[in-house]
């Protein structure tokens, strides 16, 4: 199998394009190291929501490609206490008076390595907070996030290393706002979850967990036709290892298995109005507004990174094809490997 990688211009932005016989990807370091495009070569199908212009991207950057969220989702009025510090983040969701989605998905990252070795393409990018004064003002910790992107056959793997270079414990929450194209009338979605976090009018968890009326259907695989989702789910505790969200496109037979490691305990599932043609299964290590919830840390997922230490989280996307007939369901096996 032939593997290729090259530096290109994507919507007038410097980008990295890599491909093999199965998949083609584009990463834009200047847009938060965003994996902005993933194409299934067998059917020539774009799998991610891709902007048509730079202006369209910047209008709502979190809804294109796979934005990296550090920290993920909303923080009440942008304020919380952790350790000996009180943090105040910018209010960037004015209508709800929240901070949302952190510091790294709209800022420029550096490329530190591009390598093709046998069947594997590796691309490594880094974000260094000390290079961004506006980040350090809000979050006074020197941290580095190193993203390793691995393309091999029909598997795309990501490893995130979050390193605390400061002298204080760093509050840690991490996630991805993965924006898949999703033709709702012909597609199915499967996700193994147990409960749903009850939200208030500002889309912040109240601290209560509630039953999901469609849990069994979601666990088995269901149509989302007519459903509007902006829900925060707790993963099924019976799945103590890897968690997988599955998408099956009935029109093409493409099956996407989006697998995350045990660090990710929560999923936000967002599809705007339910009829806009995209679906965002968002894996989070901590739940929305985790630092402000009066709930055990084991449940919210909030944790700290000690000075000089780091956290590593991994995800995998496997793209395969199913032979479709009238009895086709979303059931199917996962294929993923650890490259590290």
Q: So which residues are the catalytic ones?
A: 177, 282
Cβ proximity of 196 and 233 under 8 Å: yes
Alpha-carbon torsion angle 25, 27, 33, 34, nearest 10: -60
Residues ≥6 apart with Cβ < 8 Å to 42: 22, 321
Per-residue tokens: 272:
């705007």
Q: Give the position of tokens 């009238």.
A: 326
DSSP label of 332: -
Alpha carbons 105 and 60: distance in angstroms, whole number: 11
For the beta carbon of residue 293, count every other beta carbon within 10 angstroms.
Answer: 21
**Do the beta carbons of residue 175 and residue 73 sit within 8 Å?**
yes
Give dist(CA 3, CA 20) in Å, integer: 5
Q: How far is CA 98 from CA 152, 195, 241, in A?
A: 39, 24, 32
Helix intervals (H) in 86-150? 133-138
Tokens encoding 69 = 């969220």
């Amino acid at each position: 199998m032939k593997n290729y990688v090259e530096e290109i211009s994507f919507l007038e932005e410097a980008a990295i394009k890599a491909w093999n016989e199965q998949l083609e990807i584009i990463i834009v370091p200047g847009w938060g190291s965003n994996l902005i495009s993933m194409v299934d070569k067998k059917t020539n199908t774009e799998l991610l929501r891709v902007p048509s212009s730079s202006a369209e991207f910047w209008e709502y950057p979190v809804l294109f490609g796979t934005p990296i969220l550090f920290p993920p989702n909303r923080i009440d009025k942008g304020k919380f206490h952790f350790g000996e510090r009180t943090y105040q983040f910018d209010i960037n969701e004015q209508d709800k008076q929240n901070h949302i989605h952190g510091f790294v998905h709209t800022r420029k990252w550096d490329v530190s390595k591009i390598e093709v070795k046998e069947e594997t393409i590796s691309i490594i990018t880094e974000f260094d907070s000390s290079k961004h004064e506006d980040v350090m003002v809000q979050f006074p910790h020197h941290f580095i996030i190193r993203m390793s992107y691995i393309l091999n056959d029909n598997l795309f793997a990501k490893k995130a290393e979050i390193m605390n270079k400061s002298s204080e414990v760093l509050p840690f929450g991490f996630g991805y706002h993965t924006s898949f194209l999703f033709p709702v009338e012909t597609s199915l979605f499967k996700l193994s979850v147990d409960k749903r976090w009850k939200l208030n009018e500002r889309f912040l968890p109240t601290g209560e967990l509630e039953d999901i009326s469609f849990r069994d259907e979601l666990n088995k695989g269901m149509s989302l036709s007519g459903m509007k989702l902006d829900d925060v789910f707790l993963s099924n505790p019976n799945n103590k290892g890897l968690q997988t969200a599955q998408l099956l496109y009935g029109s093409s037979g493409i099956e996407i298995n989006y697998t995350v490691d045990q660090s990710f305990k929560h999923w936000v599932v967002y599809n705007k109005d339910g009829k806009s043609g995209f679906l965002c299964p968002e894996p989070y290590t901590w739940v929305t507004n985790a630092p402000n919830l009066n709930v055990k840390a084991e449940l919210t997922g909030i944790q700290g990174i000690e000075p000089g230490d780091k956290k590593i989280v991994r995800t995998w996307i496997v793209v395969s094809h199913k032979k479709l007939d009238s009895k086709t369901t979303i059931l199917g096996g996962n294929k993923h490997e650890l490259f590290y």
